[in-house]
Amino acid sequence: MPSSPEDKKRALTRLHRIQGQCEALARALEAGSDCGPILQQIAAVRGGINGLMAEVLESHIREEFAAPTGEGKADDLLALVRRYLK
């Protein structure tokens, strides 16, 4: 869990956005919308979840693995993780 107030606020804001996207998806499914817009909304939710995961993972890596003298190593690890999360 992000420990700094800024990281926590950013994660919660992202989560609230994802919740809104899920609610819109549920409304579209209930209304019997066409598949195209539904698939687009699913992709948006997936992108939001991936972004939230990347943000929390980055915060975790910085908090747990970044020693004062090894900051560059944490940055290298974060770059590698970002490449694989895309």
Q: What is residue 66's predicted lDDT score, i.e. its pLDDT?
A: 66
| Domains of the chain by start residue, with CATH | 5-84 (1.20.58.1000)
Find the mean pLDDT for residues 19-37. 95
pLDDT digits (tens, 9 = 90+) for 31-73: 999 999 999 999 999 999 999 988 888 888 777 776 665 567 7
> For residue 57, what pLDDT is reported?
83
Q: What is the DSSP string of the chain?
A: ---SHHHHHHHHHHHHHHHHHHHHHHHHHHHT--HHHHHHHHHHHHHHHHHHHHHHHHHHHHHHH--TT-HHHHHHHHHHHHHHH-
